[in-house]
Amino acid sequence: MEAPVHGSTGYWADAAERRRRRRAFNLLMATGLIMAMLGLGWGVFFALRGAWAVAAVELAIALLGGVVILMARLRRTRAAAWVAFAGMAALLCFFSAFLDASTTTIPGTSHLFLLVLALCAHHVFRAEPPGLRYGAVFALLLAFAVFAATPVGTPAPFAISDDVRRIGIWVNLATVVASFLVVMRLAESDIAEHRALHRALRDALSQRRFELFYQPQVDGEGHIVGAEALLRWRDARRGILRPGEFMQAAEETGFILPLGQWVLQAACTQLRAWHADPAMRSLRLSVNISALQLRQPDFVQQVSDAMARAGIDAGRLTLELTESVLVHDMEDAAGKMRALHAMGVRLSLDDFGAGHSSLSYLRELPFAEMKIDRTFTRGIVRDAHAASITRNLLQLGQDLGIDVIAEGIEQQDQFGLLGEQGCRLFQGYMFGRPMDVDAFNRRMGAA
Ligand code: C2E
Ligand code: MG
Ligand code: MG
């Protein structure tokens, strides 16, 4: 049995992750609220003065603020951040150009906020491709430069009066300085957390605290035909941590690359050890591969090296990929998959049905196996809809000539029903939880 798993609440890496997410959420809500309130306030102000066009622009910005709040609440953080930035940039440009343009007596100050926004963009979009990230910063700085260099002209008839701007100038400057410092401080603490996380993961790897657990995969008679290698972090104080508690951090820090390489090598070494035992010689082993790993230019070589070093037969190794791996750069992924397939490595489409699974992946790419996600197998006994989906997926596998394995089997009636539908491969707590290698070997000896 799998050793008791430490709850995620006390775990600092997880807590840091949640803190970061909460901070991003709060920042977005605050931005959305500011946009909504400023837009609404100024919208009403200009509507009362009869400047309808300006009022409409202000109200559109207020609406955009509402959209940011809604998207943040729906956890569409990335999209919300982009809308917030676009909205704020539009608001500031509008102010700088028309409402707060420099006059002969009072200089405009609204454009200074564009500098703060550029600093924000540099930090918030740090995980985006460089073109987007630096493009956003560049566009904001360019807008700043244009407004800073614009000579004094005749103010628009609806511009804010100099009496108001005379006070506003100091409010604006103080706000710019304060928000610059706040953004800088937030960025600093984020970077510090990131570094600490990376250090913790690196120490765990060098101190051999990562370990592979093995969960049995069985055939229709319940005989073990293989296993899935599942990563665990064994910590003296916190107990055994599951991937849900550190994998996202590993992805974000890029640590998944050395860690993934370690997993691959450890899995191949294990296959070699099983090969020496006649009772375990025919076992297959599945290894999970993350999107970042597959994106490495030398990934195919890494797999080939790991197999050669351990001296194993490629047909024993299965690499599990999820659709998220494929959506990013389909061409690149497809090329590598074909090379792996040519080497004899089996490829499995993990969590099928959980995301935006596309049938074309299965048809066009050299998958040897599809794993039906737990969300379907969980409900099949009570839910006719789920049962008809699994039946169709099994039929699909048969038509395409690929194996279908059902994940998350916990009860006899799920096993029975899927068996009736023609399923021949299963994995789930009913046949065994992920266990350490000694427990798995004992289990095989007993089988
Ligand atoms: P996955 O590849 O879909 O693995 C199956 C997960 O479902 C495992 O969670 C397993 O413990 C759990 N599971 C299996 N049978 C049952 C069942 O009957 N009921 C329930 N409720 N759960 C079941 P685990 O070990 O926490 O792993 C979670 C995910 O982390 C994996 O999902 C995989 O995507 C990822 N992962 C695990 N090891 C690695 C690794 O070495 N590298 C990479 N890149 N990802 C990994
Ligand atoms: Mg998997
Ligand atoms: Mg899965």
Helical ranges in 49-161 per DSSP H: 52-73, 77-94, 113-124, 130-149
CA of 272 to the centre of ligand 3 (A): 24
**Where residue 22 falls among pLDDT bands split at 50, 70, 90?**
confident
pLDDT given for residue 158 in this prediction? 80
Give the nearest ligand 1 atom to 2 CA: 11
263-276: pLDDT as tens digits = 999 999 999 999 99
222-269: pLDDT as tens digits = 999 999 999 999 988 888 999 988 888 898 888 999 999 999 999 999
pLDDT given for residue 411 in this prediction? 95
As beta bridge partners, residue 405 has 371, 425
Q: Which residue lies with its CA nearest to atom 35 of ligand 1?
A: 243
**pLDDT of residue 9 exceeding 60:** no
Give the nearest ligand 1 atom to 242 CA: 26
**pLDDT of residue 17 exceeding 70:** no
More confident call, 247 vs 304? 304
- Across 198-203, average pLDDT: 90
Give the nearest ligand 1 atom to 289 CA: 44
Give the pocket of ligand 1 (CB within 6 Å).
Answer: 215, 230-231, 242-244, 247, 260, 263, 288-290, 320, 350-351, 374, 408-410, 427-429, 434
204-223: pLDDT as tens digits = 999 999 999 999 999 999 99
Ligand number with the minimum distance to the CA of 286: 2
**Where residue 108 falls among pLDDT bands split at 50, 70, 90?**
very high
Q: Which residue lies with its CA nearest to atom 10 of ligand 1?
A: 434
More confident call, 18 vs 209? 209
**Where residue 356 falls among pLDDT bands split at 50, 70, 90?**
low
Q: Cα(33)–Cα(41) distance, rounded to whole angstroms?
A: 12
pLDDT given for residue 220 in this prediction? 96
Q: Cα(300)–Cα(367) distance, rounded to whole angstroms?
A: 16
- The residue extents of the domains of the chain are 11-196, 209-446
Cβ atoms of 281 and 232 closer than 8 Å: no
Give the nearest ligand 1 atom to 409 CA: 18
Please list, in sequence order, all residues whose beta carbon lies within 8 angstroms of the beta carbon of residue 213, skipping any fewer than 6 positions away. Answer: 2, 229, 230, 231, 232, 434, 435, 436
Q: Cα(232)–Cα(29) distance, rounded to whole angstroms?
A: 36
Mutate to test the pocket of ligand 1, among 1, 211, 264, 288 (most ligand atoms within 8 A of CB): 288
- Across 382-405, average pLDDT: 94
The whole-chain average pLDDT of the chain stands at 89
Ligand number with the minimum distance to the CA of 250: 1
- Across 415-423, average pLDDT: 96
Ligand number with the minimum distance to the CA of 410: 1
CATH entry, 209-446, from 2.130.10.30, 3.40.50.1110, 3.40.140.10, 3.20.20.450? 3.20.20.450
**pLDDT of residue 104 exceeding 70:** yes
Ligand number with the minimum distance to the CA of 215: 1
Ligand number with the minimum distance to the CA of 372: 3
**Where residue 5 falls among pLDDT bands split at 50, 70, 90?**
very low
CA of 82 to the centre of ligand 2 (A): 32
Give the nearest ligand 1 atom to 410 CA: 18
**Two tokens at 57?**
């622009």
**pLDDT of residue 20 exceeding 80:** no
Q: Cα(440)–Cα(229) distance, rounded to whole angstroms?
A: 11
Q: Which residue lies with its CA nearest to atom 3 of ligand 1?
A: 351
Q: Which range among 59-63, 284-288, 388-392 has the greatest average pLDDT? A: 284-288
Q: Which residue lies with its CA nearest to atom 4 of ligand 1?
A: 230
pLDDT given for residue 445 in this prediction? 85
pLDDT given for residue 16 in this prediction? 62
Q: Which residue lies with its CA nearest to atom 11 of ligand 1?
A: 434
**Where residue 117 falls among pLDDT bands split at 50, 70, 90?**
very high
CA of 61 to the centre of ligand 2 (A): 44
Q: Cα(94)–Cα(86) distance, rounded to whole angstroms?
A: 12
As beta bridge partners, residue 5 has 240
DSSP for 363-399? HHS--SEEEE-HHHHTTTTT-HHHHHHHHHHHHHHHH
**Where residue 13 falls among pLDDT bands split at 50, 70, 90?**
low
**Where residue 62 falls among pLDDT bands split at 50, 70, 90?**
very high
**pLDDT of residue 33 exceeding 50:** yes
